Amino acid sequence: MYQGSCHCGRIAFEVEGEPAQVYECNCTHCSRKGILWWFMPRTQMHLRTPEESMSSYLFNTHRIDHRFCPNCGCEPFAYGTDPKTGEATVALNVRCLEGLDLAALHRKSFDGLHLL
């Protein structure tokens, strides 16, 4: 179990599991923020703060609901739906997790810049 939060702590959560790999997307949004995504079923993440503490940002196809803190601006995760199963998912920004060794993670590139 990992603890995570935005920079100021207004958004806090726990997540179950161990990231086997993370995705480094080159789209304009993710690359500007330096996000490393860990995708999982939404049931593996447990909010410790209310949804009302967050703001949302939708862009491009509006399929991913990017959640960020209106106070510090940090984006700890985004909500989506698995296109194959229809299951609710969360894309977790592993840079917002406490005690995770980022250098030990297997990073996989994702070409989000050229998606239709």
What's 49's domain CATH number? 2.170.150.70
What integer pLDDT is reported at residue 111 of this predicted model? 81
Q: Report DSSP letters for 1-62, one per residue.
A: -EEEE-SSSSSEEEE-S--S-EEEE-SHHHHHHT--EEEEEGGGEEESS-GGG-EEE--TTS
What integer pLDDT is reported at residue 20 of this predicted model? 84
**Strands 107-110 and 22-25, how do they pair?**
parallel
Sign of CA dihedral 97, 101, 105, 111: positive
User: Distance between CA 22 and CA 102 in Å, rounded?
Assistant: 10
Residue 116, pLDDT > 70, answer no
Q: Which residue type is seen at 75?
A: E
Q: Which residues pair with 22 in a beta bridge?
A: 107
Query: 62: domain range?
Result: 2-114
Range with lowest mean pLDDT among 9-23, 32-46, 55-69, 79-93: 55-69
pLDDT category at 28 given cuts 50, 70, 90 is confident
Cβ atoms < 10 Å from Cβ of 113:
12
Structure tokens at 76: 């700890």
What pTM value is reported for the model?
Answer: 0.89
SS3 at position 114: helix
Percentage of the chain surpassing pLDDT 90? 74
User: Distance between CA 58 and CA 40 in Å, rounded?
Assistant: 20
Number of structural domains (the chain) is 1
Residue 68, pLDDT > 90, answer yes
